[in-house]
Structure 1
Amino acid sequence: MLLIGALSCSCTEPTTAYPPRPVIPPDSVVTIAAGPQYMRGAMHRFFWGKHYRTVWHQPVRVPVVSLRKLVPGGLRPTEAGGSFQTKNLRLVDTNGREFVLRSVDKDPTKALPENLREGFVGRLMQDQTSVIQPYGAYIVPPLAQAAGVYHTNPRLVYIGDDPALGKFQKDYANALYLLEERPEGDQSTVASFGRSAKVESSRKVFTNLVLKADFRVNAPQYLRARLFDMFLGDWSRREDQWRWASFVTPAGGVRYEAIPRDRDHAFFKFDDGLLTHIIGWVKSNYQSFHEEIRLADVEGLNRAARPMDKSLLVYLSRAQVQQVADSLKKRLSDQVIDEALAAWPPEIRELSEAEFRRKLRSRRNQLPAVADKFYELLARDVEVPGTDQAERFVLESAGPAQVRLSVYRRGTVLADSLIGQRTFLTTETRTLKLFGLGGNDQFDLLDLPETNLTISIYDGAGQDGVRVVGKLPARPGVTVYNSGDGNVINLPKSIKVEAYQPKAEEFDAAGWLLRHRLY
């Protein structure tokens, strides 16, 4: 809860010593600091970081709103929620559109055992909330709009002792929030969600992706969103930080496009204290928002999203990745950055505008190099999942030290249709793993070149076939992992065949969700 000593009302209500919470009418303005408690002494800052303490301590003018007046017909609270840090309250309007109030201040101690929350560990963990730029989400929408990335549209509000909170009044009154649309369900009226009539969760989308090949993710669009994450320094991009706009394709399938949400860790500033700097060496995913995106740190910056990236970007070439990076760099012009920073409250602009202008321009200029490093990391060890339908995986030579993978839908009446294709260079890729998942899959090895690429074939569920169609080098570097489920395997001795028990995350579509922490 915010300290009431940092709050003053611009209305004409008389103030008294009692009650302890002043009565603040709607349609007024308060001047309030997001977290004055995070301003600490010089010794504490030396060891535990300067972070954004000055910003948290700076009072800003914020409108006091009533849920009954925020939109025509008002908003009704329906459900309390949130992560281990952010306190959320879901709201719905008269048309069924959902919104969410997200607390500006956080409480990370909820992730601790109860016996540690009130002691030194809990107090220190709470203090590290100051690594977050409390108004960072405010400048993301204009940047995302220019970048071509879907986004929410947060609005900074103060909720007083509003009777419209109903049963949530005790826990949610008298606090500073970001109010934004909740990307779920029918969003056909919201341009920043692609006007999708059906926005779905990551669990639903990944279930569909491995159910059958009719469901696809727009990989270049997802890549654009991921490079934008790196531009913002947002390292916490696990699967639940995304929603997905769905669109029916002319062929009757579904195309998914990524909607990033929850920008709490954008512009993260952690390593400016002696002890936090040391911690940052160990926790390399705790990437601070510096002027330079160090190429050596790109892997740590993207660790949380690595399972998603490996699955969703598997068919993109180096040239395609560079094309998206070049486009993003061009879109994020100096003018776009300046206009985004102008969205901050004047008090915050005075503190942070010069720093952020310098950092955002520098990070934008590095995007092509960062994208190339990102591609190299993903290309090193590649995993290609099929679906729970039948697919045909074809491996063949594409030139010296090059292997082309083509994955087709196995047809019964219609000809096989291409799902995805990519050429792997042995200068980039050292291991390639193919997972049949469900269905009766076929793996065909054509004229493979002599390479140092290690290829592993995992059959999964169903009765699968593996065969050689053409010539193989003396050492093809291929191993077939056979679960013994009635597979037909006709291979020369140069190809290893090993019996194995499929792991839970390798076997079928439900198991694949385990990789994404969604099952």
Structure 2
Amino acid sequence: MLLVSCSAPAASSAARPVIGPDSTVRVAAGPQYMRGGVHQFFWGRHYRRLWAVPVQAPVLNLRTIVPGGLTPTEAGGSFQTKNLRLVGRNGVQYVLRSVDKDATKALPENLRDGPIGRLMKDQTSVINPYGAYIVPALATAAGVYHTNPRLVYVADDPALGTFRKEFANALYLLEERPEGDQSAVRSFGRSARVESSRKVFTTLAFNPAARVDARQYLRARLFDMWLGDWSRREDQWRWASFPGAGGATVYRAIPRDRDHAFFKFDDGLLTHIIGWVKSNYQSFHEHIRLRDVEGLNRAARPLDKSLLVYLTAADFRQVADSMRLSLSDQVIKSALTVWPKEVYALAGAEFDRNLRGRRDQLPAVAARFYELLAHEIEIPGTDQPERFIIGPAGPGQLRVQVFSLRAGRPDSLINQRTFNPGETRSVKLFGLGGNDVFELRGLPDQQFEVGIYDGAGQDLVELFAAPGEAAHPTNVMVYDSGDGNTLRVAKPIKTQAYVPAATEFDAAGWLLRHRLY
């Protein structure tokens, strides 16, 4: 057994001990994060003890880990995590993700080695170095797709080739890379085609026959909140594709990169103050503050507004109740036992308590999440022609239906939803590209602010009102870009000339909302 400190300076390759192909090491992921009491008082205790405790990890043997071995092909990663892509003989891809992080890469070079850089590096201790390790068992119980990380130690292995200097002698998580044909991987839904967010959202914006399984995505998002994972921007997802009815493609979410799950930030004087200002820096406690659900989900808000727009309060309630029941005390306890025994001894009881407390809150969290999303609605079309039908659906209610216009064939309903003013203040419809039709079948209740944005193409906006109905007050505005639209509306509907923003104009512009274009 070899005791290794990851923070120690690298020795020459000749001075390093030889590690056999089936060796294990005892290694501390980040003993440099263990600081004195005064520093911890101001800058937080965080997970410093977990970073400093040595744990046992197998040494990765690239030649034998899978039949035929793995070959390193490409280095990458975010501003914090080092990644190394590996490919097997059969073409299946894996990735090594560094346990230790370095947020200073986001700083200008002249600040990285100074006080600001050292402080940012020290705050890596807000991350649980072994948090991702317990997620698969919890995700399986919750019905959420997931990667399957394994804790490994990468030695100074010649098989690393040109990546040897940068990646040797450190702890990593080894997991399947969710891309391409994953029909052999159950935790990716055995999808024959897993795609990136950029590719999927481009397809959604151009093809009305493609859709995301919204209830499955909601389940994944509630799971994020349960774990306290607040960094769920678009690139943190991959998408399993499946054939749907009538030639449609259905996408289901695969969350990846759990670096910010179980975040612990507010246990120092100064970090506590920062946490009040940066409300997205949510710490993993026994209870989720309902007033801060907005901050917890801020990074994913563009995704959530687009993908959950047609779900109702009942959908949110049903998914939350189902998850609460599936995440039993025994499921939580069993998941925690996969931790190294040293980690479990330090954090097992705390995590068991916090996960059970947060689980019981899921219905209340889902209700608050729905309330935030329902207040202001945005419904996009695609760059193909669509028909939007807007009109009353009973006293005080508003219904929006979106149809795909297909030449020589009946219109095909894409989706619909009924809104009530107790939940929703405004509804904005974006035609994007294509020659779209907006039909107002009666006047919406004046409690709703309805905005119609024509976008690209020559669109038709038409009011069908019963005799005498035009005298009723309403709050509808048609935004006309002046590119050849036909407006058959009259008072009390208002029209306004406008110059469309890039994010309102067409499918490519809509992708800007998701930082994907």
TM exceeds 0.5? yes
Task: Tell me the equivalent position of 1:348.
Answer: 343
**Which amino acid letter does the alignment assign opposite residue 81 of structure 1?**
G
CA contact (8 A) 2:6 2:169 kept: no
Q: Which of 252, 275, 290 is 2:285 aligned to?
A: 290
CA contact (8 A) 1:7 1:32 kept: no
Distance change in 2, residues 1:57/1:310 (3 Å): same
Percent identity reads 69
Offset of residue 280 of structure 1: 0.6
Deviations 1:348-375 (A, max 9, x none): 1101110000000010000000000000
CA contact (8 A) 1:103 1:178 kept: yes
Task: Tell me the equivalent position of 1:476.
Answer: 474
Secondary structure of the 1:251 match is helix
Task: Tell me the equivalent position of 1:40.
Answer: 35
Higher mean alpha-carbon deviation, 192-201 vs 466-475, is at: 466-475
1:66 paired with 2:61, answer: yes
CA contact (8 A) 2:444 2:475 kept: no
1:404 paired with 2:376, answer: no
Distance change in 2, residues 1:156/1:5 (3 Å): closer
**Which amino acid letter does the alignment assign opposite residue 498 of structure 1?**
Q
Distance change in 2, residues 1:394/1:6 (3 Å): closer
Deviations 1:192-237 (A, max 9, x none): 0011111000000110101021110000000000000000000000
Distance 1:285 1:59 in 2: 31
Task: Tell me the equivalent position of 1:514.
Answer: 512
Secondary structure of the 1:65 match is coil
Distance 1:311 1:322 in 2: 19
Secondary structure of the 1:142 match is helix
Task: Tell me the equivalent position of 2:260.
Answer: 265
CA contact (8 A) 2:4 2:25 kept: no
Task: Tell me the equivalent position of 1:13.
Answer: none
Offset of residue 269 of structure 1: 0.1
Cα-Cα RMSD? 1.5
Q: How many residues align?
A: 510
Task: Tell me the equivalent position of 1:502.
Answer: 500
Offset of residue 6 of structure 1: 6.7
Secondary structure of the 2:191 match is coil
Task: Tell me the equivalent position of 1:92.
Answer: 87
Task: Tell me the equivalent position of 1:202.
Answer: 197
Task: Tell me the equivalent position of 2:98.
Answer: 103
Distance 1:363 1:55 in 2: 22
Distance change in 2, residues 1:350/1:460 (3 Å): same
**Which amino acid letter does the alignment assign opposite residue 493 of structure 2?**
I
CA contact (8 A) 1:68 1:74 kept: yes
Offset of residue 403 of structure 1: 0.3
Distance 1:133 1:431 in 2: 40
Secondary structure of the 2:393 match is strand
Task: Tell me the equivalent position of 1:454.
Answer: 449
Task: Tell me the equivalent position of 2:483.
Answer: 485
Distance 1:466 1:489 in 2: 5
Secondary structure of the 1:85 match is coil
Distance 1:126 1:445 in 2: 56
CA contact (8 A) 1:7 1:30 kept: no
Offset of residue 448 of structure 1: 3.0
1:311 paired with 2:306, answer: yes
Offset of residue 475 of structure 1: 1.8
Q: Which of 200, 203, 208 is 1:213 aligned to?
A: 208
Offset of residue 258 of structure 1: 0.3
Deviations 1:369-404 (A, max 9, x none): 000000000000010000001111111111111101
Extract unaligned runs of 5+ from structure 2. Answer: none
Secondary structure of the 2:245 match is coil
1:437 paired with 2:432, answer: yes
Task: Tell me the equivalent position of 2:408.
Answer: 413
Offset of residue 22 of structure 1: 3.2
1:325 paired with 2:342, answer: no
Offset of residue 20 of structure 1: 5.3
CA contact (8 A) 2:5 2:28 kept: no
Q: Which of 230, 239, 261 is 1:235 aligned to?
A: 230
**Which amino acid letter does the alignment assign opposite residue 306 of structure 2?**
S
Secondary structure of the 2:137 match is helix
Secondary structure of the 2:419 match is strand
Offset of residue 26 of structure 1: 2.6
Offset of residue 344 of structure 1: 0.4
Distance 1:17 1:367 in 2: 52
Distance 1:460 1:495 in 2: 19
Task: Tell me the equivalent position of 2:145.
Answer: 150
1:29 paired with 2:27, answer: no
Distance change in 2, residues 1:18/1:404 (3 Å): closer
Extract unaligned runs of 5+ from structure 1. Answer: 9-15
